């Protein structure tokens, strides 16, 4: 359990996903700045540095004030580039999120914890810390990930399925007359145009798939109720059209990274 903060801690948390990279800056427990950028696998460390500095200056933040950095990455080619860019920009050795790094914050019965993605670890850590156990996370990103923490507080596993953007892009690419659409909930189930029909199938179809999977999870674990928290770039679109999601926390992954970083490498004298 984290102790009382005695000195100022400035933490940079970076969540590198397949589609988007989310960057957050924490001053102690407060998220003071956040940015959501497109992930470009070919970016070099120099290119990353070229946009990091302007982002900090735009928010009147001093890069030299950063004391801790943690990365969660599911794009291996970018991990080393981001590490190099961070070392050059902030003179801080970044931590790389994993089940092992999370230590006691991440209890699991998973047979091979090293296989669990860094974003899934961070989501589970934050969900348990914020909402207790049992708790289920639905992360709407390139994939739709469902993470399950049982009543004992153990990460027991989850579900990985194609995400909304993946489904929409595949449908448009494979259907010669199907357009690229904006992912919004339709006003009615039965579409009166191609776009409305696609929105119904993709958005409402995803909602029903998530609700159905959550029902199966609850039945399998013998749960009557549990907090189900939505996160990810499309959480605000999807949560209102589901029946089982109870709360939205768009910064859940960043919060998990913050908790893991402070346990793994606290600043000297910062914790009681």
Q: Catalytic amino acids?
A: 119
Residue 249 contacts residue 130 (beta carbons within 8 Å): yes
How many CA atoms lie less than 13 Å away from 127 in the CB half-sphere? 35
Pairing of strands 68-73, 95-96: parallel
The pair of three-digit structure tokens given for residue 251, joined into one six-digit string: 């910064």
Please give the C-alpha separations between residue 195 and each of 28, 68, 84, in angstroms, as whole numbers.
45, 46, 44
Contact 147, 123 (CB under 8 A): yes
The pair of three-digit structure tokens given for residue 212, joined into one six-digit string = 């159905």
Cis peptide before 134 (omega within 30 of 0): yes
> How many other C-beta atoms lie within 10 A of the C-beta of residue 169?
14
Contact 213, 227 (CB under 8 A): no
């Amino acid at each position: 359990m984290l102790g009382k903060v005695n000195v100022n801690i400035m933490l940079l948390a970076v969540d590198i996903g397949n589609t988007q990279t989310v960057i957050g800056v924490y001053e102690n427990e407060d998220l003071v700045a956040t940015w959501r950028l497109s992930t470009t696998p070919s970016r070099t460390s120099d290119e990353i540095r070229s946009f990091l500095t302007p982002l900090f200056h735009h928010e009147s933040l001093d890069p030299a004030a950063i004391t801790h950095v943690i990365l969660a990455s599911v794009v291996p080619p970018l991990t080393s580039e981001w590490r190099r860019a961070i070392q050059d920009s902030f003179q801080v050795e970044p931590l790389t999120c994993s089940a092992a790094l999370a230590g006691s914050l991440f209890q699991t019965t998973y047979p091979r914890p090293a296989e669990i993605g860094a974003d899934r670890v961070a989501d589970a850590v934050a969900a348990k810390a914020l909402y207790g156990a049992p708790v289920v996370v639905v992360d709407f990103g390139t994939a739709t990930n469902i993470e399950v923490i049982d009543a004992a507080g153990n990460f027991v596993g989850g579900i990985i399925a194609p995400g909304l953007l993946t489904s929409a892009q595949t449908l448009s690419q494979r259907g010669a007359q199907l357009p690229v659409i904006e992912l919004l909930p339709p006003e009615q189930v039965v579409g009166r145009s191609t776009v409305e029909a696609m929105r119904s199938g993709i958005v409402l179809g995803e909602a029903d798939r998530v609700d159905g999977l959550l029902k199966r999870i609850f039945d399998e674990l013998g749960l009557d109720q549990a907090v189900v928290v939505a996160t990810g770039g499309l959480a605000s679109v999807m949560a209102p059209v589901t029946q089982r999601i109870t709360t939205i926390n768009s910064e859940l992954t960043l919060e998990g990274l913050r908790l893991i970083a402070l346990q793994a490498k606290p600043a000297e004298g910062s914790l009681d």
